[in-house]
Amino acid sequence: MKSFNLSIKTVDTLNSNINKKDYIDSLGLFKLMFRRESNIIIVIPMSSNENILKKYIRKLMRYKNYLLKWNNITIILQGFCNDKIIHCQFKELLFPICYGDKYSIYSKAYDLACDYLDSYFYGKNLCDFCDNKCGYKKDFDLETGCCRHFEKHRQLGLLLGEKLVNCEYLGNNGRCNVKCLGCKLYTCPYLEKKGIKFKIKDIFPINSIFNWMQKIYIKSIIYAKKEDIMKGIMFLS
Ligand code: SF4
Ligand code: SF4
């Protein structure tokens, strides 16, 4: 089996001694198809502009089949900043993009989006939980915030007079056990009043990797396990 080696380097400024490097902007299909060396060095100038980073991601995905012919790929992230979440997310996506299959690219992007949203919420009590009741539902007898659904028809049960039950995926620690990205993206009017609302285009791994149908699908599927959501994502790819 062919072995691959991807080396990702992060630098502030590029060492001028590096010969035979290709800037991602000038990397073209012609070069990728006809170059003979076994190594390739790709320089990516990191930006704070998500659209530019998205363009680079898309370009690497488009050229993926040609990248596979190199045993050794070095990617130099020029101007990489550890404190910038999108730089870190970009870096994490590189391995599956260069060597993984479609499933592993989508899975990585999905996990990065979940991690981002978890780190946004966990430990901060943004929902103002007090005596197990969140700020939005404090006047109701509801102790699990919005992790509840109708008993049989999870979203349409209201029309059938079904009662609300706790979501079976809610862990004892109050966290979701199944990485449901659609739920994580949800914000109720209480949070929106506090200025907390997520749009797909604000979540770099989702915005840069998935197509428009996958984005709508991800946003609309709630109360579901990651592995089931991944089936839909693959179907819509
Ligand atoms: S998102 Fe809104 S309804 Fe859900 S737990 Fe937070 S405050 Fe409560
Ligand atoms: S699937 Fe949704 S409703 Fe159920 S525990 Fe996870 S986040 Fe809460």
The pLDDT tens digits of the residues spanning 68-82 come to: 777 788 999 999 999
Q: Is residue 111 part of a domain?
A: no
Q: Is residue 48 part of a domain?
A: yes
Verify that 94 and 191 share a domain, yes or no.
Answer: no
> Which residue has the least CA distance to atom 4 on ligand 1?
146
What percentage of the chain has pLDDT greater than the value 70?
97
Label residue 106 by pLDDT band (50, 70, 90).
Answer: very high
Rg (CA), the chain: 22
Domain that holds residue 129: 117-235
**Residues with Cβ within 6 A of ligand 2?**
147, 167, 169-170, 176, 178, 180, 183, 222-223
Q: How confident is the model at residue 104 (pLDDT cuts 50, 70, 90)?
A: very high
Whether residues 60 and 165 fall in one domain: no
Report residue 225's pLDDT band, with 50, 70 and 90 as the boundaries. Answer: very high
Distance 17 CA to ligand 1 centre (A): 54
Indicate whether 89 and 193 sit together in one domain.
no
Number of structural domains (the chain) is 2
- Closest to 154 (Cα-Cα) out of 64, 226, 235, 224: 224
What is the C-alpha to C-alpha distance for residues 237 and 141, in angstroms, rounded to an integer?
Answer: 42
Same domain, 96 and 126: no
Give the integer Cα–Cα distance in Å for 57 and 72: 19
Judgement on whether residues 43 and 132 belong to the same structural domain of the protein: no
What's the CA angle centered on 2, arms 63 and 32, to 5 degrees?
25
Full-prediction pTM beyond 0.95?
Answer: no
Single residue among 45, 66, 100 that ends a domain in this structure? 100
137 in contact with ligand 1, CB cutoff 6 A: yes
- State which ligand 1 atom lies nearest to the alpha carbon of 144: 5
Q: Are residues 205 and 131 in the same domain?
A: yes
Of the three residues 47, 73, 100, the one that is the final residue of a domain is 100
Residues 179 and 146 in one domain: yes
Please name the residue whose Cα sits nearest to atom 5 of ligand 1.
145
**Count, residues in the chain:** 237
Segment 137-157 mean pLDDT? 76
Predicted pLDDT of residue 142: 63
Distance from the alpha carbon of residue 157 to the mean position of ligand 1, in angstroms:
20
Does residue 143 carry a pLDDT above 70?
no
187 belongs to a structural domain: yes
Q: Are residues 124 and 206 in the same domain?
A: yes
Same domain (yes/no): 127, 212: yes
